[in-house]
Amino acid sequence: MAASENSSRDLGEFSKQINLDSVRDALIRQEDSIIFSLIERAQHPYNAPAYGNLAYGTSLVEFFVKEAEALHAKAGRYHNPEEVPFFPEDLPLSLIPPYIFPPVLHPAASSVNISKKIWDVYFKELLPLFTSNGDDGKYAPTLASDLICLQALSRRIHYGKFVAEVKFRDAPQDYSTHIHTKDKDALMKMLTFERVEEMVKKRVEKKAKVFGQQVTIEDKCGEVDYKVDPSVVSHMYGEWIMPLTKLVEVEYLLRRLD
Ligand SMILES: O=C(O)C(=O)C[C@]1(C(=O)O)C=C[C@@H](O)C=C1
């Protein structure tokens, strides 16, 4: 749909329809993208030379992601408030007319960007957990897979802005008290649902089992070999993906009354 086709009435309606169930549904859907992206990346070993510094001070991965983001920016990817670039500096302008996204978030949302943290966590913590040691020399497909992983993780984690927005709308008075006093711990406590987090960890483990099985025509008995260890996926969610989503939620809420 072209920009001119989304009427302001439709945009307003959408903004009102979003609720905790719908944002949680979006997070559940994004689990599929994350798990498939990990499975794709796990086809290759760690491939350290893709991440080391090149002679002129950058790495192959940095070059690859910057160039890809420049192309995506020209195609309008970052008009979408769900998409946050890793290298926002010097991105080219979009060549296509902007699609007008429903104005769900507070304008200060655009200043919430934890891409650098996500980048560090992905390369230092996550990648070594789900790739084997070694170097197959196939750096182009490796980096293409890294890009998809990074984008899926970033979209999920920054989606915390939408989650925080619906939580704020559901209890504006309670959140405002802690926002005024900048009480990060109280905000973190208010937005945390341990029971939901346990469900997320169990579900992603199950999805990793279903999506990561070798499918054969004959039924096989015995040990199943998974493409990515399902318990590692659950661990990643518990240790990094959900905590970073909550960090985004807190950062967004702190700016919600600006
Ligand atoms: O579902 C929520 O309420 C969220 O805030 C999302 C999320 C998550 O990252 O999955 C984060 C915090 C909650 O404790 C539970 C789950």
Nearest 10 degrees: Cα torsion 71, 72, 74, 79: -160
Distance CA 115, CA 113 (A): 6
Q: Compute the distance from residue 164 Cα to the ligand 1 centre, in Å.
A: 9
What pLDDT shows up at residue 220?
A: 76
Rounded CA separation 216/4 (Å): 49
Q: How close is the Cα of 3 to the center of ligand 1, in Å?
A: 32
Average per-residue pLDDT for the chain: 93
pLDDT tens, residue by residue, 81-120: 999 999 999 899 999 998 899 899 999 999 999 999 999 9
Q: In 3-state terms, what secondary structure has residue 132?
A: coil
Distance between CA atoms of 250 and 52, rounded to whole angstroms?
34
How far away, in angstroms, is 14 Cα from ligand 1 center? 22
Which atom of ligand 1 has the smallest separation from the CA of 200? 10
Query: So what's the ipTM on this one?
Result: 0.99
Take atom 4 of ligand 1 and give the residue whose Cα is closest. 163
Residue 108 structure tokens? 């200060």
CATH of domain 8-255: 1.10.590.10
**Residue 124 Cα, ligand 1 centroid: separation in angstroms?**
24
Domain ranges in the chain are 8-255
Kindly state the greatest CA–CA separation across the chain.
Answer: 62
DSSP three-state, residue 131: coil
- Which amino acid is it at 165? E
As for ligand 1, residues whose beta carbon falls within 6 Å of it are 24, 27, 163, 191-193, 196-197, 200, 242, 245-246, 249
Give the mutation target among 161, 168, 193 for probing the ligand 1 site: most ligand atoms within 8 A of CB: 193
Strand-pairing partners, residue 213, are 226
87-96 contact pairs (CB < 8 A, 24+): 87/62, 88/113, 88/115
pLDDT number for residue 217: 87
Quote the distance between the C-alpha of residue 113 and its chain's center.
12
% of the chain with per-residue pLDDT over 70: 94
The one-letter amino acid code at 147 reads L
First-to-last CA distance in the chain?
32
Instruction: Write down the pLDDT at residue 9.
Output: 57
- Give residue 7's pLDDT: 59
**Cα of 246 to ligand 1 centre, how many Å?**
7
Pocket test for ligand 1, best of 21, 23, 189, 200 (most atoms within 8 A of CB): 200
The closest-lying atom of ligand 1 relative to the alpha carbon of residue 23 is: 1
Place of tokens 């192309």: 71
Q: What is the pLDDT of residue 14?
A: 65
What is the percentage of the chain residues whose pLDDT exceeds 90?
Answer: 84
